[in-house]
Amino acid sequence: MVSEKKIRVVAQLIEKMKQYPILGVVNMENLPAPQLQVMRRSLRGKIELVMARRRVLQRAIEASTNGAKELIPFLGGMPALLFTKENPFSLYKTVQKNKSSAPAKPGQTSPQDIIIPAGPTPFAPGPVISEFSSVGIKTGVENGKVAIKQDSLICKKGEVINQKVSEVLKRLGIQPMEIGLNIVAVIEKGVVFKAEQLFIDEDVFNAKLMDAISSARNLAVDIAYPAQDVIEFLVQTAFREAKAVALEAGVVSKDTINEMLGKSEREAQAILQAVEDKA
């Protein structure tokens, strides 16, 4: 028999799905309680986070009428539901900004390829060389210190971090883990966005945007399309071309008279010079 508490939570979740246009699934796995409280405070007013058992969340989603059922496959790990009125991309950016780095513990899943860069270390030769070697790091001795010879991939994205890798990372002061809310997927108006689709490299995006603007402007100029951003350039181009035609045809106007007089003077000087040379 389903408890009254679970029924009440399901009803509350269904009501929130009606109130908020955007629903997301987050994975709370490996998120310590103190950091969770800090994040709740920092995101207050922007998102509402509801934690419950996976089965309870699934029942609420199944009972919803806004197409949220598409999120059921994403209820993995330690799921929670996130409610907001922010657009999905802004939401993802906000959540990412509130993450912090943390050391890697044995048994955790690597969120990225962990690469140890080549270069010197502060360690004197000794047992550290065998420690590094045990995880695939090639070393040598330079100026009396252990040096890493080449960039070394010691754990791939999605792999479980073992004890040796964890110890080496700790010794090197590398913190590859991120503490924070992990958005798995978000749905808006029936469209599901996975986490990887929500990440936007702003530098790359801005570069592509500027390139698109430049290409569009060049196209508008080439086809003489009178858009607001190119009309002044088109008028200037038309003026130069009309003036060139007028000069070629010998049409006298206030815009051509000075250049025509100058051309005539140069031609007269050239004739005079030629006569003097013959004399």
pLDDT at res. 93: 84
The CATH architecture to which 114-176 belongs is: Alpha-Beta Complex (3.90)
**Distance from the Cα of residue 17 to its chain's centroid:** 28
Phi and psi at 122, nearest 5°, equal -85, 5
pLDDT at res. 2: 60
Specify the pTM. 0.57
pLDDT at res. 118: 93
Binning the chain into helix, strand and coil, the percentages to the nearest 5 are 50, 20, 30
Per-residue pLDDT of the chain (279 residues; tens, 9 = 90+): 467 888 888 888 888 888 888 898 988 877 777 777 777 777 788 888 888 888 989 898 888 877 788 889 998 888 989 898 888 888 888 888 777 788 888 998 888 899 999 999 999 999 999 999 999 999 999 989 999 999 999 999 889 999 999 999 999 999 988 777 788 899 988 888 898 888 877 778 788 888 888 888 888 888 888 888 888 888 888 888 888 887 787 777 887 788 878 777 787 787 777 777 776
- Every domain range in the chain assigned CATH 3.90.105.20: 114-176
Q: Please tell me the distance from the alpha carbon of residue 94 to that of residue 79, in angstroms, as a whole number.
A: 19
The first and second tokens of residue 214, run together, are 């430049």
Fold (CATH) for 4-99+180-199: Alpha-Beta Plaits (3.30.70)
Q: Please tell me the distance from the alpha carbon of residue 270 to that of residue 264, in angstroms, as a whole number.
A: 10
pLDDT at res. 279: 62
pLDDT at res. 201: 73
pLDDT at res. 37: 79
Burial 159-182 (b: 16+ CB within 10 A, else e): eebeeebbebbeebebebbbbbbb
The first and second tokens of residue 19, run together, are 């109130």
Q: 245 by DSSP, 3-state: which?
A: helix
Q: 243 by DSSP, 3-state: which?
A: helix
